[in-house]
Amino acid sequence: MLGLVLPNSKSVLLKTFTFKNCNELYGIRDNKSAVIEFLDGLFITADLNILEKFYCLLHLRDLCIGNIIELRDYNFDVLIIQEELQEIVDIKETIKFGNNSITLNYPKNFTCSSMYNDSFIETILLDGEVINYNKLSSEEKNLIFNYLPESIQKEIKNFYKKHINRLKVEFTIKGKTLGLSLDSVQCVEFFTTMLVPLSPGTYRDYIFILSKRIKDVSFILQSTFLDVKDFMDLYVKEAKENKNDLNN
């Protein structure tokens, strides 16, 4: 279990991202819904918005895998991206109409497609009942949204237009400005790349080699990738030293 304090001073608890998790995520990488569900399972602290979740996932990458992501054309540091999230502006707003009200805020859930005008709705107080909008099905959301007065729908749409760009994170790598949209499936694909540092073949090789010295395979699986890589480096170093001793 890992803890951190977000830029908005919120304390968060996370599950450790293990060596086993790397392989599990690789196995479901093409199923975006499964990836989102998997990532949500890493947050012990509930009710985080997607900017907060993004910051946490960058933190997990740094502590459990390493801060440098190696791609085919270039490498980059996730801490550069994290620096762009040092201020998470409070945008929470409540719209009242009659005895009812709607609370608008950053979306809680990543998406497999795109976000829409109602994506910033957090809760609705309707006819005395508080509804957690994020937990509704698409059909239920459409039914409730269409039930709202047109003037309220317009306010919700204006809020969306005003704040949607806050979900687009820009960062600079080698002098080039790149962007990541948290309001689209692009971010889910990015997270998969960020949190899968090795192929299944390398995963099996690491376990096979290390199990010769570490008999408890579950210990290897529950270690972080950074720890396993350290174990491998020590194993290789020892093997070279033994080979040199034999040659001498």
Q: What is the pLDDT of residues 100-146, one digit of tens each?
A: 999 999 999 998 877 888 899 999 998 888 989 888 888 898 888 88
Q: Pick the residue with more confidence: 88 or 39? A: 39
Tell me which of 133-137, 174-178, 189-193, 229-233 is least confident: 174-178
Q: Which pLDDT score is estimated for 44?
A: 96
Whether the per-residue pLDDT at 34 is higher than 80: the answer is: yes
pLDDT confidence bin for 213, thresholds 50/70/90: confident
Q: Which pLDDT score is estimated for 170?
A: 84
For the record, the structure tokens of 231 come out as: 């174990």
What is the residue extent of each domain of the chain?
Answer: 2-87+182-198, 93-166, 201-247
Q: Which pLDDT score is estimated for 63?
A: 94
* Strands 176-181 vs 168-173: parallel, antiparallel or unpaired: antiparallel
Block residue for tokens 């059909």: 139
Task: Tell me the pLDDT of the chain averaged across its residues.
Answer: 88
Q: Which pLDDT score is estimated for 222?
A: 95
- Three-class DSSP labels, 150-179: HHHHHHHHHHHHHHHHHHEEEEEECCEEEE
Handedness of CA 110, 188, 18, 207 (dihedral sign): positive
Whether the per-residue pLDDT at 3 is higher than 70: the answer is: yes
Alpha carbon distance 94, 10 (integer Å): 21
Whether the per-residue pLDDT at 174 is higher than 90: the answer is: no
- Name 136's Cβ contacts closer than 8 Å, sequence gap at least 6: 144
Whether the per-residue pLDDT at 54 is higher than 90: the answer is: yes
Mean pLDDT on 72-90: 83
> Which CA distances in Å does 114 have to 16, 49, 186?
29, 16, 9
